[in-house]
Structure 1
Amino acid sequence: MTGLRIAAIRLLCPDPAATAAFYTAAFGASLAAGGVALGAQTIELAPASDRGGEPAPSNGTDFQHCALVVADMEAAYAQLSEVPGWTPISRAGPERLPARSGGVSAFKFRDPDGHPLELLAFPPDAVPPVWWDRTGLFLGIDHTAITVADTERAVAFYAGLGFRVASRGLNRGPEQARLDAVDDPVVEVTGLTPPGGAAPHLELLCYRAPGTVPSPCADGSPLATRIVLAGGSNLRDPDGHRLIGNSKIPLDRPFAV
């Protein structure tokens, strides 16, 4: 699996055309076959076959967000604020995290279908090289983050697919609490790079406190986001997150356990 990479993120939507319209208005995304493109990355938009339930909290196992890199947080937040339909997760607007948590500015929210998203701005002196030559306000998708109950169990699963650990950190404090809308969080943050490299990468979020909450949802729910891999098979990771081998696999094909 040396060339395996995250080819796209697939979101299930009650009305994919309406979701595409939101992404083009809010982020300047361009329409692409089967979804939208943000920079060099793709979000596939497919019909949901289930109405779903209440969105998982940030520390729920079905919580999965896409982090959208922005060149200017204030301008990006202002543009988002002009587009109706989304709901905030973060309690007090964009947050600047302390240096021990990367010093990034971030804001979490849900699109009109309930899919979690994050605006992410890096400090000027710490912008990853992949974003150096990108232009515009919304540059692309840096990572997709999933909440897990056990970091090492999740790392072992993804290592079996060829992912490698690129970073480890421990986020805590009032800024993280406001960002995640979780009281007194202590979050293990582990970055995983797919063997094929290139953005987006995968991020594991394990809540040591107040703990990760099991929150399963049906395969056809709008909350059942897929990670689309270039190569591989339909799989579930140990926490139930869904991976599919390529964008041509039908939605009703079963997942392995």
Structure 2
Amino acid sequence: MSSQTDVQVQRIRAIGLTVTNCDRSLKFYTQALAFELVSDITVEGQDYSDLEGVTGGKIRIVTLRLGDELIELMEYLNIQGKPIPSDSQSNDLWFQHLAIVVSDMARAYAHLRSFPIEPISVAPQTIPPENKTSGGVRAFKFKDPDGHDLELIWFPPDKGKDKWHQNSHRLFLGIDHSAIAISNTEQSLHFYCDLLGMQIDSRSLNWRATQSRLDNLPGAEVKITTLRPVQDGVGIELLDYIVPKKGRPMPSDWKSCDIAHMQIELVVNNLEQLVDKLRRNKVHFVSSRIIQFADSTSPYRQGCLVKDPDGHAILLIAES
């Protein structure tokens, strides 16, 4: 176990999604999934452009809350980003989803179906009991109006965190994790655990007909490793597909303004030290430097955007 003096990720602050139109996405997330508006700001200037690796960006950032968790909808007002490929699948290495916990899957699914979603799963699926880690969990995957992947997840009494089982009158409870497709589990564990100091929470192998219907991928077989930061909260799930084999890599020219862009915001206890460590380990940096934010509207004091081994965006932040 790492000691508190180590440089490490403390928790996930939020998950950012680049969207085509904030108003449309805001309406969808608040009406279909019961998120609540926290703030709506527009930022521009060299700092934000340097942070996100774009030139002259003017970004509207709408922050939404569900339970204890935050997401940020990011619309580039002056740059037209590329859309998400319409033939994207769960084994493509740019795949990333948010898992939204519900208190009643049948009711949540019925509510969601009254909105214009694109389903991925045939219907909600129940993981079979032979799967020790996830047996009894119910899940349904679908896409938001931009094509971002989302999942509704319901935990039986013996699974999931205690907070998902506290008597809640709410239907949509919060975000449990963000799942990312990866090319190699060991390579990703080196990045997330050895370099960032996250811990392995569980491992499982999901397969058979249930997983195929959930992912809409014939014969799907996926090795799943769940990681949690030291202060717990939202986790990261690594999805290492065995069948079908690895999908397409993330194109190297994709930028933060492209709609497929999602960024996991990780609060770290010593940003300068961590950045030095990542540079020594040849991690890919999007930000040219650690960006300082003096501006009171910024939710953090310093930030630096890097990529994981498969190109998923990780925003490392130091809070004020």
Give the TM-score normalised by structure 2: 0.73
How much has 1:138 moved relative to structure 2? 0.4
Q: In the comparison of the two structures, how many residue pairs are matched?
A: 245
Matched letter for residue 51 of structure 1: K
Corresponding residue number in structure 1 for 2:120: 89
1:126: Cα distance to partner? 2.5
* Paired residue secondary structure (1:204): strand
2:268 is aligned with 1:236: no
Q: Which residue number in structure 2 is paired with residue 151 of structure 1?
A: 185
Report 1:1-257 matches (<5 A).
1-2=7-8, 4-33=10-39, 34-48=62-76, 49=79, 50-55=81-86, 56-84=88-116, 86-90=117-121, 92-99=122-129, 100=131, 101-133=134-166, 135=168, 136-159=170-193, 160-198=195-233, 200-217=234-251, 218-219=254-255, 220-231=257-268, 232=271, 233-246=304-317
Stretches of 4+ moved more than 4 A in 1? none
> Measured at CA, do residues 166 and 59 of structure 1 come closer, stay the same or move farther in structure 2, by a change above 3 Å?
same
Deviation, 1:10, is 0.2
Counterpart of 1:252 in structure 2 is: none
CA RMSD of aligned residues (A): 1.7
Segments of structure 2 that go 5 or more residues without pairing to the other structure are 1-6, 40-61, 272-303
Partner Cα separation in structure 2 for residue 116 and residue 3 of structure 1: 25
Residue 53 of structure 1 and its aligned partner are, at CA, apart by 3.8
CA contact (8 A) 2:84 2:147 kept: no
Change (3 A) 1:134 1:230: farther
Q: Which letter maps to 2:34?
A: G
What percent identity do the matched residue pairs reach?
A: 39
One-letter identity of the residue aligned with 1:82: S
Contact kept, 8 Å, 1:14 with 1:51, in 2: the verdict is: no
Normalising by structure 1, we get a TM-score of 0.90
- Look at both structures and tell me which one has the larger radius of gyration over its CA atoms: 2
Q: Aligned-pair distance for 1:127?
A: 4.0
Q: Deviations over 1:154-191 (max 9, x none)?
A: 01110110111110000100010010011111100000
Cα separation, 1, equivalents of 2:236 and 2:9: 16
CA distance in 2, matches of 1:78, 1:14: 26
